[in-house]
Amino acid sequence: MTTATSRRGDSRISPVFLGIVAVTAVSGWAVWTNFASQPGFAVFLFVTAAWVVSLCLHEYAHARTALHSGDISIGAKGYLTLNPLKYTHALLSIVLPVIFVIMGGIGLPGGAVFIERGRIQGRWKHSLISAAGPLTNVLFAVVCTAPFWLHALDGVPDTFRYALGFLALLQVTAAILNFLPVPGLDGYGVIEPWLSYKIKRQVEPFAPFGLLAVFAILWIPQVNGWFFDAIDAVLRSLGVTDWDTYWGQRFYRFWEGTPEIQTFTQP
């Protein structure tokens, strides 16, 4: 009886996560209805909370896939509760991604669930575990952009449209960055099981610095331009314009002052 109760508790959704979802819903309602006296602050809360929800689900996807692949220790670690405080490195998975959104409007990929890889047999399973997280961001991007490519935005308040466009940008950047085959990122985790032992040993020392190297390279103006041109191209193919993401980020940065609401004109 104790074991069964414990296992149910291991997968019970955390009140912390439910609280974050509630903040997303309430702030989204405030943006939609223009209830807040400062729409920029409401956009900030909505996008940030929704972004944290996606980070939690990103890590949950890794954990759930690992559980079904053979790592039965996942539940005891609390990863299935969707509680971000249970992650091995909450700083890397939650705090830093939020800081990067605030500073530069970029979706920083997190990664902080400890998976006991020795329990898992089969290269395909290892690859799928690594791919599960960024695939969650892809799914979020599809959901966020659905109103755009379905042409279902008639009557939607401009501020909410811009917030949704900016949130879509974060999901697309997170998915693309996470799928890069760079040590320390999920993209490398996808291909690592298929590499030779010699190559893995040579690459292993660089894993802690992979993410830092990516962002150092993105500081190079030309590379940064290429990267965001690619992001804009993906978003445009999904119906999200530069206009949407630009004003979404302007509203998000409420501390710079609330911009005058712009009227969107269909091109």
Structure tokens at 76: 């005891």
**Sign of the torsion angle spanned by Cα atoms 53, 56, 58, 64:** negative
Angle of the 15-33 helix axis to the 158-178 helix axis, nearest 10 = 140
Distance (Å, rounded) from C-alpha 85 to C-alpha 229? 35
Catalytic residue annotation: 59
Structure tokens at 136: 């969650």
Could you tell me which of 34, 177, 53 has the C-alpha nearest to residue 104?
Answer: 177
Residue 19's CB: how many other CB atoms inside 10 A?
11
Q: How far is CA 251 from CA 37, 72, 156, 215, in A?
A: 13, 44, 16, 25
Angle of the 96-104 helix axis to the 39-69 helix axis, nearest 10 = 140
55 within 8 A of 110, measured Cβ to Cβ:
yes
